[in-house]
Structure 1
């Protein structure tokens, strides 16, 4: 027999994990520790017990915290078992969901596909949640068995089972309300549109509520440019024009009411035809215009090879010498006067100290 052959042994994870229950908290052991008498506990549990009394909570054998040993190998085994149990549970619940087969003759349309996928994921998550509730109840019962017996134990068990049933009922009720609240007809769903401002070559692909108005659309544009660090300085009066998808050139100028009243089809385009002036669009000003002597103001100075001119401030190099062969000559210079030879030579075309 091949010694390296990986033999699969099918043992339910819960059966093994049952052996790794902490005798103190009755949960699966976390940060496993073993006492010198051989009993396993969670680290936090055994530390708390030994801080109160120097004896093993399981067999009362005398022991101290210093004598407790961490078992990292057991941590790894428990972690693997928990992962395998989670994987097996997911596969089990998915197989349960898939067992409700769709007739082969029926092909799911896109909406049904989305619904089916999301319901499958939701089903699996709820099944896991129910399992966790039941596991928690069983752990509580284990604790009760250690404290009570007879009629008192039965009474506590009954109370636990009733609480579990109530919890499940409340979950079902909440889920039912949630499903009813999200089961909207197509005309009430948020609409995906393309919001465009052609004069700025702007296209935003987004989902928006049908309660939005043109004011909300303006805010979207303004906030977009704020997020880009180039805020809007002014907006001229313009119209929002709806080009309806899947239509033969239907064009509607939107009023100030909610866009939902237009029964907008998903994938439609709304154009803003007004002027948008950004901070970056504002006219550049020569360094000399705002220069204040004695304040240590810095300027990057350029040389223009086309004009054969030195000491050109950065704004002038970009505006007055646009398209010229320029190169930075003196970076971060602190001049002692309002210096820019673009102004001195009469080449400056932007606001400067001589031309406001």
Structure 2
């Protein structure tokens, strides 16, 4: 257990509140440092075992001298040689241990240098705000080399396809405005700031107009929790005039359609567009969801109720 002393107070390390980043490093470095220490302890055990054996050999050599009937002067001289030899060998082993320890530390330092990236080059999680639609897509991950326009379009297309509302129009004049974590505000204020920045050249702290091909993480040091606002006439399928599926069917495509029952009109197999327009205000129930029709199936035109078929 590690303690820190401040004046007369003793503070346990586990009582110190760590920041989220410190906690991450603590968790990862704890195991790594433990492995590093284990390696050093193994080396120490090997050193102690070798020193013990060396000392035993020296002691055996001293005992052997006593059996050789040497004069005291010669005996002392030979013992001195044994002691010097032992001291030299011990010093060499200890030097080798220090050298090994340094090599381990250097290797570990190199590993950390190469594998712990700076925060500025880590992927960043942000929110994308499609301003005219009052639509926000959260938890979008930007890698350091991701460029603004391709990454934003990809994120929007993916999110809206999952919601069955495909992106159908992305004008060339769409603008991207980066709001830092502490510059974000409600939709009304965001729209006001965007218009002032784009139309009047007003500057706001931590609000930046992005080039469509810039790399926000590298070029603008985009922080986690930031928001990229899309300003322009982006259109989705839901923005287009409703059309009956009977007029949209394409044999070569694998289309997915939701069908409904209108209890008011007493028939089923009604596509979603007809349900929303032709049968608006009627008593509706889901019939079959995520269906893959093999023909232009919608019974609304067949029952002469359709007002949106071209």
Tell me the TM-score normalized by structure 1: 0.45
Aligned to 1:242: 178
C-alpha distance in 2, partners of 1:261/1:313?
A: 51
The 5-angstrom pairing of residues 189-338 of structure 1 reads 193-198=126-131, 199=133, 201-205=135-139, 208=142, 212-222=146-156, 224-225=158-159, 228=162, 230=164, 232-237=167-172, 238-244=174-180, 249-250=204-205, 251-255=207-211, 256-259=213-216, 260-262=218-220, 267-278=225-236, 285-287=244-246, 290=249, 303-306=261-264, 308-315=265-272, 316-327=274-285
C-alpha distance in 1, partners of 2:49/2:161?
A: 55
C-alpha distance in 2, partners of 1:330/1:207?
A: 35
Report Cα offsets for 1:190-216 as digits up to 9, x if no partner. Answer: 666433123161232456456543235
Residue 176 in structure 1 maps to residue 130 in structure 2: no
Distance change (3 Å), C-alpha of 1:281 and 1:143:
farther
Query: 1:240 deviation in Å?
Result: 0.3
Query: 1:176 deviation in Å?
Result: 3.0
Query: 1:325 deviation in Å?
Result: 0.9
Structure 1: unaligned runs, 5 residues or longer: 1-90, 106-110, 293-298
Report Cα offsets for 1:242-298 as digits up to 9, x if no partner. Answer: 235556845542213333544656654320123445567775543576498xxxxxx
- Matched residue of 2:307: which SS? coil
Tell me the TM-score normalized by structure 2: 0.50
Report Cα offsets for 1:24-70 as digits up to 9, x if no partner. Answer: xxxxxxxxxxxxxxxxxxxxxxxxxxxxxxxxxxxxxxxxxxxxxxx
- Matched residue of 2:245: which SS? coil
Query: 1:226 deviation in Å?
Result: 7.4
Distance change (3 Å), C-alpha of 1:325 and 1:244:
same
The answer to whether the 8 A contact 2:128-2:137 is kept is yes
The answer to whether the 8 A contact 2:260-2:288 is kept is yes
**RMSD over aligned Cα atoms:** 5.7
Query: 1:339 deviation in Å?
Result: 7.0
Q: Aligned to 2:35, which of 129, 139, 148?
A: 129
Query: 1:312 deviation in Å?
Result: 4.6
Aligned to 2:71: none
C-alpha distance in 2, partners of 1:118/1:329?
A: 49
Distance change (3 Å), C-alpha of 1:331 and 1:235:
closer
The answer to whether the 8 A contact 2:244-2:298 is kept is no
Q: Which has the higher contact order (CA 8 A, sep 6+)?
A: 2
Structure 2: unaligned runs, 5 residues or longer: 10-16, 51-55, 59-85, 184-202, 252-256
C-alpha distance in 1, partners of 2:288/2:117?
A: 66
Distance change (3 Å), C-alpha of 1:290 and 1:161:
farther
- Matched residue of 1:322: which SS? coil
Q: How many residue pairs align between the two structures?
A: 241
C-alpha distance in 2, partners of 1:289/1:249?
A: 46
The 5-angstrom pairing of residues 138-153 of structure 1 reads none
C-alpha distance in 1, partners of 2:121/2:7?
A: 30
The answer to whether the 8 A contact 1:232-1:279 is kept is yes
Distance change (3 Å), C-alpha of 1:274 and 1:150:
farther
Distance change (3 Å), C-alpha of 1:193 and 1:215:
same
